[in-house]
Amino acid sequence: MNSFEDLANELAPGDVSPLIDALGQWRAEDPVALCRWLSKVPERTAASRDQWFAAAREQDPLLAADIHDLVGPDARFVLVLPGVFRAGAPASELEALDEELNELEAAREVEVPVAFLIEKTPTTQAEWALVMDENPSEFKDSGDERPVESINWFGAITYCNRLSARARLEMSYAVRNVVGTPGAGDGIYWALVDSGGVEVPGYRLPSEIEWEFAARAGRLESTYNGDITEPWEVLDPIAWYEDNADDETHAVGLKAANAWGLYDMLGNVKEWCWDPLNDESRSRACRGGGYGSSPVETRAACRDWMVPRGCDADTGMRCVRSIVAGNPCGAPRTTSSLVRGSFEDPRDGQRYRTAVVEGVEWMLEALRYECGDGSSTLASELHPRVYSWEAARGACPPGWRVATRSDWEALLRSFGDTGADAYAALIDRDGGGFTLPVERHRPGVFWTDTSKAELACSALISHKHDDISFRMRDPTSHYACICVRDWAPEEGPASR
């Protein structure tokens, strides 16, 4: 054993602070070795997972995420080490099934260069609902441990980013030119998505190579239980497919796992991957087969695909996360990867896009609530409802408040060193940023919940000077309002 492992084993039963310090140093030097140790810690220390997580969360979000994902009998992720393997199907596999060799499945030797964590099961409806505040699945009638389904590829991308935000990790995806509403299972009709790749420590979809590497778990046959031959006996112990699923999904983890402890890699639901079908296609790969798939479609090598805006009751997902040193909480310089979802005002049904920045959830649009006390009529997006200072403070939805000057200043610091830097990032209509009620060459003014003497402070967003600044104003004047609320992850990357 190396010195870090010796020290960790010695400290594990005792004081938490020295242990977390030691684990943090170990992670900086060899994150893969640390994750191997975390995934094997004895039961006596696994019981202390929550205590470890709480101690690590503020000072080292990456370490906290590793603890949350890997420690304990109910840990949701499995560590997969780098390696080389044979992907695809040899001609003999297809010949045995009386199928033609598809060039999309051609056998080849490939490398998985980076260690990663992968969920033990497909993402469940419970996990999805916790992060996304909704459940689009068709099969909901027998508990939320079934896999989430009826989600499109854009929804899966959004889920990964929100999971990263909860864990205070750098997000894997930047989403631009959004058409539709982020959050719903099929809510985004189209968007441009840029990936930071395997070097970003946030949650993401697996590549097809990572998915197949994990599905095979060292096996060369068509499934991790052997080669498929009629009457398909090798599939029944490991997969829900057309012959045994009764045309519906089933709770995850009921079939046998592969050698690496992964369940439902074949059958139950197809799983979205990052990759396009090919260089010319916009369709995205989904692997593993679903409850309605044939045995031929329920092989480790089989490739399926769908347009990214498409969704089906047999298609779900599972997350991965690279084990890299990385920057745990490097703040993005644009709002495109910050979109967290939406909030519906229970008073009037108005829905607002939201984002989390520095522990504060922001509405990305000006408040539109008619409070009947000092608020104007709503004219248009560019001429929003405006309020007196007192009316604005009383118009926020329950649990929300008018952003203070400190909130605005923290927001600006997240995007640059000057108001001009923040302006360039925040005024980003196509990138999923703030849809602010301002016209070109005309400033937008928003009340803050800060006052001094007989004046109230406002945030001034100036298109003329491409800047954001603050001014004191007469509180009986009428200006727009942006609402915020304090936000914190409940129990880490996701309460699972």
Taking only the tens place, the pLDDT of each residue in 167-178 is 888 888 887 777
Q: 57 pLDDT exceeds 60?
A: yes
Q: Which helix (H) or strand (E) holds 278?
A: none
What count of Cα atoms within 13 Å lies in the side-chain half-sphere of residue 220?
8
* Residue corresponding to tokens 């099934």: 97
Contact between 57 and 66 under an 8 Å Cβ cutoff? The reply is no
d(CA 362, CA 306): 34
As a whole number, mean pLDDT of residues 481-491 equals 71
Contact between 201 and 322 under an 8 Å Cβ cutoff? The reply is yes
Which structure tokens are listed for 267?
């059958």
Q: Give the pairing type, strands 444-452 and 480-481.
A: parallel
Question: Which amino acid, residue 288?
Answer: G
Q: 495 pLDDT exceeds 50?
A: no
- Residue 482: pLDDT band with limits 50, 70, 90: confident
As a whole number, mean pLDDT of residues 236-250 equals 96
pTM for the full model? Answer: 0.69
Which of the two residues, 3 and 316, has the higher pLDDT score? 316
Q: What is the pLDDT of residue 351?
A: 86
- Residues contacting 409, CB < 8 A, separation 6+: none
Alpha carbon of residue 128 to chain centroid: 10
As a whole number, mean pLDDT of residues 118-137 equals 93
- Residue 249: pLDDT band with limits 50, 70, 90: very high
For the chain, give the number of residues.
496
d(CA 483, CA 302): 48
Q: What is the pLDDT of residue 92?
A: 77
Q: What is the pLDDT of residue 492?
A: 37
d(CA 290, CA 270): 5
Q: What is the pLDDT of residue 1?
A: 45
d(CA 180, CA 154): 10
Q: What is the pLDDT of residue 289?
A: 96
Strand order in the sheet with 320-322: 77-80, 116-119, 320-322, 203-204
Q: How close are the terminal C-alpha atoms of the chain, in Å?
A: 32
* 137-149 CB burial, b ≥16 within 10 A, e <16: bebeeeebebbbb
From 127, 179, 184, 144, select the one nearest 344 (Cα to Cα): 184
d(CA 487, CA 313): 32
d(CA 7, CA 137): 46
Give one word for 331, left, alpha or beta, with left for phi > 0 and alpha for psi -120 to 50: beta
Alpha carbon of residue 255 to chain centroid: 26
Which stretch of 60-64, 115-119, 267-271, 459-463 has the lowest confidence by average pLDDT? 459-463
Which structure tokens are listed for 107?
């056998």
